[in-house]
Amino acid sequence: MTRRELLRLTGASLLYSGLSPIMGLASTSGSSAGRRIFFDPKELARIRANTRTPLLAPIYNEWAASPLQALGQALDEFDASGDIIRDFIKALRELAHSSLVQLADPSAERETSILEAIDRIIKVPNWDYFRDGETVVLGIQRSSFATVRLLFAREVLGEAIDAELDKRLVKAIGDKGCQTCYNTIYDMEHPDTVKGWDFDERHAGYYDITMERWPMILGANNLRAAPTGALGLGALALQGLDPRADLWLEAAVASTRRFLTLFSPDGSYFEGISYLGYSLRTTLPFINAHRALVGDVDWTREVNMDGILDYIMTMQLGKRPDGRPDVVNFSDSRESVFPGAISLIGDYTGNPMAGYAAREAGKPDWIYDFLWYKPDAPAEPPRKELLNWRNDLNWIITRSGWEPDDAVMAFKSGAPANHEHADRNHIIYKRHGERLLNDHFGASYDRRNPGWLMRQTAGHNSILIDGKGQHYVEGLEGTNDSQSYANILQYVDKGDRLWWTSDATAAYIPYNYHAHQVLRTVIFAKPDIFVVIDQIQLRYRPQVVEARFYPDNADAQARLETDGNRFTLARPKAVLHGLVASDTGAVPLLSRLEVPAETGDFPCVSVQSPVALEHRLVTVLAATRGGASKAPEMFAGSEGNKWTVMAGNFRAEIEMTSWEPRVTLL
């Protein structure tokens, strides 16, 4: 038996027997005797100044306005429910917010509230609901969250925590935090030793899933980062106080390196921008503390940090009505990255775009935003090359500029990934601040919920063949990767005119053997004109084909109309005009995603092509400002394999070859 195995087994068993595996905690006279892993007292003036910056003041004022009793009330709710998933996390968030406010504007009353909360959290039997073999406690999200928030509160309060409380706090962090996170990472690295992951009895019905492969699945996505980062911070804080700390630190360094290999060489992240944000939130605190306290790893060489900044900026989609950053929400993404993470990467790289990105693309909601944000950092806008971007994931994001009303188009090709949707060859298009072709927010994570359909091809701006979409998982293991692949066959960048072709055939074959070829070519004439060319070839059996186009209707303000071979998708500030041409007599019709009203209302234009072995659909689209604006003159027609398209001053000829359509600008 190895030392690591012994630690895992003895740590877990002693924890369950109520005993600590610590042979003798070092005596402390308050937490100030420990190592600082969050901030240097010399930085307090800058941290406090950050609470008054235009970017961070709103969220700080919201936290500061929370009544002192809110923390205790949140713990009361958790005590009553025992719900670690929902109510424990609320209490931990309140602890973090209260601790940050105490750091910026200390008061005796808030100090007492935090001390009482620490004592109560220490007494919680377990900080997570994951188990291995029903007995070994695992620490994934909740345990890691608790560990980091308690460590932060410990550092903020300093000597206000007396020696007796600090000794119990260190023991709890070691036993209920670090050890459970170590157990998780160990299982990820040694799945053959896992007895069976599951939820504890209280939370067993939260999802209807099997976790047989979860150590491997979670070990290769953002949920490796959470226990790893917390373990690393705990190990650094507990060195000299817990004999397990050195081994924990070794494991955290190795696991962080393993996690960083999940980034593409160009810095793009496969799970989408929200999960990049989560990953940076859980990884960078450890990296930063390790750099300061140990310094034997050059973390800037482990991942392309300049590339991460490029990815963050290219995944922006202007602003939302309330001023928050809007994002290219491929997969389950919802929000942008935290400005503190962007600022820290800027510190590491010296990249002047970081100051711009933190201010324009940052979404504050994190204690480290106040610790790391640099409002006076150099702030250069993104370089010209980022206007048209095909990243290593085979995602294409192209734009006319970086202002909120500029045009942005995002196109999804590439390989499967955790948190993905069945969305190959799917298009997002935003103009004049409106999502004219939308990627819906809020798809269900639970296959039992009707919102699971929002993950399917039918809920995207893509193609259905014989009513079937691309391969997608059934949800038995959650939102893990599917068998859907697509590949960019050509990509031509001429600045304000560009086009590409993506082959998604492989994504359709699992459900439809007859799908012989499924190509989508997009020609984008910035900022207002684009053409979508769909070539579908079937083997043996003729089938119907449908191309869907969804506008944003989250506020119920989308208006859709069809008229012969034309259609409009109207939003209050912009209209998308469409013209359909085909060699099969395809027509645009009004349709919608078939989900209950309580799930949402998702109307779309469905371009329907009747039964045929070969379908060539050409959809010419033009955006105009809202109101009574008219569509430009539009045309699409063919002579044999040569198609001519026109919209306003844009003209092009497309030769429909078998694989790569040849585009000529006229």
Same domain, 519 and 419: yes
Share of the chain above pLDDT 90, in %: 92
* DSSP output for 403-454: STTS-EEEEE-S---TT--S-TTEEEEEETTEEEE---S---SSTTSGGGGG
Q: Is 204 buried (19+), middle (13-18) or exposed (0-12) by CB count in 10 A?
A: exposed
pLDDT value of position 8: 53
| Judgement on whether residues 469 and 563 belong to the same structural domain of the protein | yes
**Residue 535 and residue 512 in contact, taking contact as beta carbons nearer than 8 Å:** no
Q: Determine the Cα–Cα distance for residues 258 and 97; give it in Å rounded to an integer.
A: 31
Kindly report the CATH number assigned to the domain that includes residue 452.
2.70.98.70
Computed on alpha carbons and rounded to an integer, the radius of gyration of the chain in Å comes to 27
pLDDT at 172: 98
Q: Return the closest-CA partner of residue 419 out of 328, 488, 480.
A: 480
Answer yes or no: do 208 and 96 share one domain.
yes
335 with 394, same domain?
no
Domain boundary among 225, 259, 293: 259
Distance of CA 80 to the CA centre of its chain: 32
Phi-psi category of 559—alpha, beta or left, where left has phi over 0 and alpha has psi -120 to 50?
beta
Cα–Cα distance list, 541 to 185, 314, 514, 612, 614 (Å)? 50, 41, 7, 8, 10
> Quick check: bond before 527 cis, omega within 30?
yes
Pairing of strands 487-493, 650-655: unpaired
* pLDDT for the residue 419: 93
Q: Please indicate, yes or no, whether residues 327 and 437 belong to a single structural domain of this protein.
A: no
Task: Please tell me whether residues 93 and 135 are part of one structural domain.
Answer: yes
Q: Are residues 278 and 356 in the same domain?
A: yes
- State residue 28's pLDDT score: 37
Contacts for 48 with CB less than 8 Å, ≥ 6 apart: 104, 105
Instruction: Give dist(CA 517, CA 505) in Å, integer.
Output: 5
Are both 134 and 146 inside the same structural domain? yes
pLDDT below 70 — which residues of the chain? 1-34
Tally Cβ neighbours within 10 Å of residue 202.
14
Same domain, 332 and 400: no
Give the pair of three-digit tokens for residue 463: 């193609």
pTM: 0.94
Select from 224, 259, 294 the last residue of a domain: 259
Residue 309 to residue 203: CA distance in whole angstroms: 38
**Are 50 and 62 members of one domain?**
yes
The per-residue pLDDT for 205 is 84
Residue for token digits 């009505």?
321
Question: Phi/psi class of residue 466: alpha, beta or left (left: φ > 0; alpha: ψ in -120 to 50)?
Answer: left
pLDDT given for residue 46 in this prediction? 97
Which pLDDT value is given to residue 29? Answer: 34
Distance in angstroms (rounded) separating the CA atoms of residues 266 and 279: 17
Enter the tokens of residue 499.
């086009």
Query: Which domain-ending residue is among 367, 382, 397?
Result: 382
- Helix (H), strand (E) at residue 649: none
| Rounded distance between C-alpha atoms, residue 472 and residue 457, angstroms | 9
The closest of 279, 276, 51, 21 to 144, measured between CA atoms, is: 279
Other CB atoms within a 10 A radius of the CB of residue 353 amount to 25
Using DSSP, how many helices (H) and how many strands (E) does the chain show?
A: 18, 26
For residue 270, what are the domain limits?
A: 263-382
Instruction: Report the side by side order of strands in the sheet with 662-665.
Output: 634-639, 642-647, 650-655, 662-665
Which tens digit of pLDDT belongs to each residue from 177-190?
A: 999 999 999 999 99
Whether residues 378 and 394 share a domain: the answer is no
The number of domains in the chain is: 3
Based on the fold, state whether residues 371 and 396 are members of the same structural domain. Answer: no
For position 654, what pLDDT does the model report?
Answer: 96
